[in-house]
Amino acid sequence: MSLQAYQNTQNATEDPRMTEYRLMANVTNALIDVEGKDGPEFYQAVDWNRRVWLNFQVDLASEENALPDDLKARLISVAIWVDKHSTRVLRGEDKITPLIDVNRTIMEGLAA
């Protein structure tokens, strides 16, 4: 089975919330794996998390996004915070733990 066929099957059978949950779980696990460490993997995990949130922000700002405006605004605010906090983490000015905590909170919401 080709990768494309697998992705098509997954897209047809997986709820978008579960796709987002799985993505958040993967990126959160990557952050947990590098917590307290240094090196390329640390920077890659923090950057991956930041890019995920940037994509969420773009989607939330889209006219096609059907979430309530209040929820979209709150999630965009979280995305902006993640971007700023990630910069501080990458500079060694702050800890990675709050990023993990935010992701876990979002995962709880997606699982509800």
Within a domain: 80: yes
pLDDT in tens, 43-92: 999 999 999 999 999 999 999 999 999 999 999 999 999 999 999 999 99
pLDDT grade, residue 25 (50/70/90)? Answer: very high
Within a domain: 20: yes
- At 92, list the tokens: 């060694």
Within a domain: 9: no
- At 18, list the tokens: 């579960």
* pLDDT at residue number 6: 47
Within a domain: 2: no
Residue 109 above 70 pLDDT? yes
Residue 4 above 90 pLDDT? no
Which structural domain range is residue 70 located in? 16-111
Within a domain: 6: no
pLDDT in tens, 90-99: 999 999 999 9
Residue 41 above 60 pLDDT? yes
Tell me how many domains the chain contains: 1
Within a domain: 55: yes
* Distance, CA of 73 to CA of 51 (rounded, Å): 18
* Averaged pLDDT score across all residues of the chain: 91
Q: Is 92 left (phi over 0), alpha (psi -120 to 50) or beta?
A: left
The DSSP string of the chain is --HHHHHHHHHHHS-HHHHHHHHHHHHHHHHHHHTT--SHHHHHHHHHHHHHHHHHHHHHHSTT--S-HHHHHHHHHHHHHHHHHHHHHHTTSS-SHHHHHHHHHHHHHHH-
* pLDDT at residue number 18: 93
